[in-house]
Amino acid sequence: VTTEVDAALRSANEVLFVDTGLATPAFLAARCPRITPLFEDSYAESGARLSSYHHMAARTLASALDHPPVVFAMHGHPTVFSYPAFLVRELATELGLEVRVLPGISAHDTVLAALWIDPSVRGLLQYEATDLLLRRRALLPDVPTLIWQIGLVESRLYSKARSRPERFHALRDYLLQSYPQGHRAIAIYTSPHPRVPPTRFEFAIEEMPSHAEHLHAGFTLYLPPAVERPIADADLLARLDDPAHLARVTFSSE
Ligand SMILES: C[S@@+](CC[C@H](N)C(=O)[O-])C[C@H]1O[C@@H](n2cnc3c(N)ncnc32)[C@H](O)[C@@H]1O
């Protein structure tokens, strides 16, 4: 939560939130007199996730019409792997309501910190696990890659059930088309609370199914680069430290 989000929570007439963190209700209640948990009401075992998102958006908009301003809060960043925020915006626009989105600390941030990844060095590729398989998206084994929502792969239905190894067979096979046997990957769930330690499993890609039971909905898979991409533009490399080149591409600073 940033200071900007903190101010929005304090000025809201209601905060509707989707989060199961134990500390979340107390945190929000200290900032807003009316807090409404949406998680339990929205999700049903084996129910369509899309229906859950419709429910969250409908509840938020009903409140926004009745006693604005309201906040719709969820863990992480609202536009990162989170369709409900887009749904709220779409419906609110139809109703003539104003919507602002405020950035939050995402798993994107916590995973980069936990694994010491700097995207400036080799870039960073990110896909959603099921989308990767559906579209056969291109993998680049020289680029660090994050695969989101591995624990949910191959289903749009909500479930608390643990996964069987079979869930990961197609994902494993697809990754092995681009990465060598034995290439090590890391499944990571960064700490959601100061008292909860992070969870991390490191395994060769072909071993992923044997970790199925532990790979819950909160995990992200990190694939470190398997190969180095050589420099293709030697002329540009030579110009990088050349003051004459800098002078050619900039205005005089005097
Ligand atoms: C529905 S998305 C929500 C992401 C959230 N909006 C954000 O910005 O972090 C859930 C996915 O985010 C990733 N994720 C969420 N929390 C995580 C954590 N603590 N550690 C690693 N990945 C996490 C996982 O890939 C998970 O399947």
Is pLDDT above 90 for 119? yes
Pocket test for ligand 1, best of 5, 39, 132, 148 (most atoms within 8 A of CB): 148
Q: pTM of the entire structure?
A: 0.95
pLDDT of residue 22: 86
CB-CB contact of 32 with 71 (8 Å): yes
Atom 20 in ligand 1: which residue has the minimum CA distance? 189
pLDDT of residue 37: 96
Atom of ligand 1 nearest to the CA of 147: 25
Is the shortest distance between the CB of 158 and ligand 1 below 6 Å? no
Rounded-to-integer distance, Cα 54 and Cα 84, Å: 7
Is the shortest distance between the CB of 106 and ligand 1 below 6 Å? yes
Rounded-to-integer distance, Cα 248 and Cα 232, Å: 22
Percent of the chain with pLDDT over 70: 100
Rounded-to-integer distance, Cα 60 and Cα 53, Å: 11
Is the shortest distance between the CB of 125 and ligand 1 below 6 Å? no
Atom of ligand 1 nearest to the CA of 151: 27
- Rounded to the nearest angstrom, the distance between the alpha carbon of 105 and the centre of ligand 1 is 11
